[in-house]
Amino acid sequence: MTSTIPPRNTPMTFPDPDLMKQVNSRFVSGVTVVTALDGDTPRGLAVNAFSSISLDPPTVMVAVQHTSSTHDCLYRTGHLAINILSAGQLDVVKTFATKSADKFAGLDWTPGPHGSPLLEGSAARMEVEIRERLLASTHTVFICRVVHAEAADIPSMVYSAGRFFDGSALDPLA
């Protein structure tokens, strides 16, 4: 097998955004709500760009679009929370996926050790210290050290092809 490397002066072409949506929809991801305090006001948004980087030391990353109304609050703060939603929190993800002014109205949450909102009923929750902020095109990637973590014995929510699923209802392959 051979590959050809285009000459340096050849303009780069990129796949069409609609094709990229189709490609990305084939990836199954968990569903998270990232939260932080903006002064005394809790802020948050739904994020599916979350990943564990390392277990030792415990390090994770989230990516947030610059145009998000929560982005600037996250960029300024030193800590944030990542709430991994449970299968019973469809109403929560729908709220945090909107531009609502008060996404926390009627929502039960407790402050983490550094004040970040931890959502009640989540499958897992963690508070993290932001260590790096990397600009990546239209997003900021936050590299974070986990300083507090909790997990509940309830199924998580998963997302694929524009739909939400109960993570415990997936058919195992082996």
pTM, rounded to two decimals: 0.89
pLDDT in tens, 45-90: 999 899 999 999 999 999 999 999 999 999 999 999 999 999 999 9
Q: Which two tokens stand for residue 157?
A: 């929510």
Q: Where does residue 63 fall: left (phi above 0), alpha (psi -120 to 50 degrees), or beta otherwise? A: beta
Q: DSSP assignment, residue 30?
A: E
Q: Which two tokens stand for residue 139?
A: 């997003």
Cis previous bond, 42, omega within 30: no
pLDDT in tens, 111-162: 999 999 999 999 999 999 999 999 999 999 999 999 999 999 999 999 998 8
Q: Which two tokens stand for residue 89?
A: 């929190």
Report residue 94: phi and psi, to 5°.
-65, -40
Residue 171 pLDDT level (bands cut at 50, 70, 90): confident
Q: Where does residue 137 fall: left (phi above 0), alpha (psi -120 to 50 degrees), or beta otherwise? A: left
Measured between alpha carbons, how far is 68 from 49 in angstroms, rounded to an integer?
Answer: 14
Using an 8 Å Cβ cutoff, are 125 and 110 in contact? no
Residue 6 reports pLDDT greater than 80: no
Averaged pLDDT for residues 87-100: 94
**C-alpha separations of 108 from 25, 113, 123, 125, 164 in Å:** 31, 17, 14, 14, 22
